[in-house]
Amino acid sequence: MTLVTDVRLRRVLDSRGNPTVEADVLTESGGFGRAAAPSGASTGEYEAIELPPGEAIANAREHAVPQLEGRVYAGNQREVDAALRGADGTDDFSGIGANSAVAISMAAAKAGADVLGAPLFQHLGGTFRGENFPTPLGNVVGGGEHAADATYIQEFLAAPVGAPNVTDAVFANAAVHAAVADILDERGESCGKGDEGAWAPSIDDAEAFEIVDEATDVVSSDVGFEVGFGLDVAASELYDADAEVYRYGDDEKTTDEQVEYIADLVREYDLVYVEDPLDEDDYEGFADLTERVGEQTLVCGDDLFVTNTERLRTGIDLDAANSILIKPNQIGTLADAFDAVELAVRNGYDPVISHRSGETEDATIAHLAVATDAPFIKTGAVGGERTAKLNELIRIADDAL
Ligand code: PGA
Ligand code: ZN
């Protein structure tokens, strides 16, 4: 019933106005799945390769589509994803592009779910029990590679850790986003938004901490549960490898100073989450920080691990972190992303399922988060391509309970 009969690929728009790859997968019995690849701006050095969409589509049509149509079953994700890897023939998907691969992989999963008449999260092996919903981390202030003339730290993320249900959590993050706007307004700091919908004021990082701390406090007392916050430092973008320092404008920090700085921030602001606090090659720096604050907060590797089990294994051996960001397009297929989650969980690492700065309406990651029972999902706070995932989480909860 789930034999793949057609794979169609096209270029569609992403949230930055760039083209990206969308895939349709059709099956023998009329099953249908559609998915689109997201795209990063602060991309990790070790990520699978995203090709220009036109090239990715042409290469996938030539090499992958003939290996899929009439040959694999959409209901068998491992078979689909192995066929994609085999057709690509490289370690990093530079043959057909990780963008083509991930779009086809996710579209096949949806087609498999469609044939079964099951929601995607269930087809992917998950259940929704209500009390275990993934807590959304909502980007409310940011800069880095996502906005010019804004903070050095890429993302300040609202974290409604005390929320009793997913709907309250989603609305709490939107409330923090609105509260930040009010505070910025009071301070006369008008500003636009970055790529993920976070406010991108021209303020220094210290002021951003004050503002987000105040906004989360205000919302916490309004909603009556704990709303904390966390960071994606995206430190690889700040690191100058030649000088071996982190550059915050004219300010610079050695690795030891960077570890100290982040550890102090964790203590001062009770940060619940710190992503990429150090450069993507610095397992030792990560381990040093994790030793200091790993009991209090999640130290999460994004560019460090790039959803790659080999890199995660190295991190586990060195006690480099206690959490891993999972972005299916960093590795190329859903099966690979599941392998990373499984290895993480077996070793006590919390998986955090994540969007990219360039997104579409595709809501696959909402299902992936529920399917893997991930404690967190990072998918912005506002903006259509972000609310697509948040509203899907609300629907999943509503349908499942
Ligand atoms: P990116 O940013 O999608 O631009 O890589 C998101 C992140 O760093 O987590
Ligand atoms: Zn990141």
Q: Domain locations in the chain?
A: 4-117, 135-400
Distance 358 CA to ligand 1 centre (A): 8
Distance 190 CA to ligand 1 centre (A): 24
pLDDT tens digits in sequence order for the chain, 401 residues long = 899 999 999 999 999 999 999 999 999 999 999 999 999 999 999 999 999 999 999 999 999 999 999 999 999 999 999 999 999 999 999 999 999 999 999 999 999 999 999 999 999 988 887 778 999 999 999 999 999 999 999 999 999 999 999 999 999 999 999 999 999 999 999 899 999 999 999 999 999 999 999 999 999 999 999 999 999 999 999 999 999 999 999 999 999 999 999 999 999 999 999 999 999 999 999 999 999 999 999 999 999 999 999 999 999 999 999 999 999 999 999 999 999 999 999 999 999 999 999 999 999 999 999 999 999 999 999 999 999 999 999 999 998 76
User: Whole-angstrom Cα distance, residue 257 to residue 272?
Assistant: 21
> Matching CATH topology for 4-117 and 135-400?
no
Which residues neighbour 249 within 8 Å (Cβ) at sequence distance 6 or greater? 152
Ligand 1: list residues with CB < 6 Å.
40-43, 145, 232, 234, 302, 354, 356-357
135-400 carries CATH number 3.60.70.12? no
For 4-117, give the CATH class: alpha beta
Q: Which residues are catalytic?
A: 196, 327
Question: Which atom of ligand 1 is nearest to 302's Cα?
Answer: 9
Distance 247 CA to ligand 1 centre (A): 19
Question: Which atom of ligand 1 is nearest to 358's Cα?
Answer: 3
CB-based contact 234:155 (threshold 8 Å):
yes
3-state class (DSSP) for residue 169: helix
Which residues neighbour 372 within 8 Å (Cβ) at sequence distance 6 or greater? 124, 126, 326, 338, 341, 351, 353
User: Whole-angstrom Cα distance, residue 391 to residue 286?
Assistant: 34
User: Whole-angstrom Cα distance, residue 29 to residue 35?
Assistant: 19
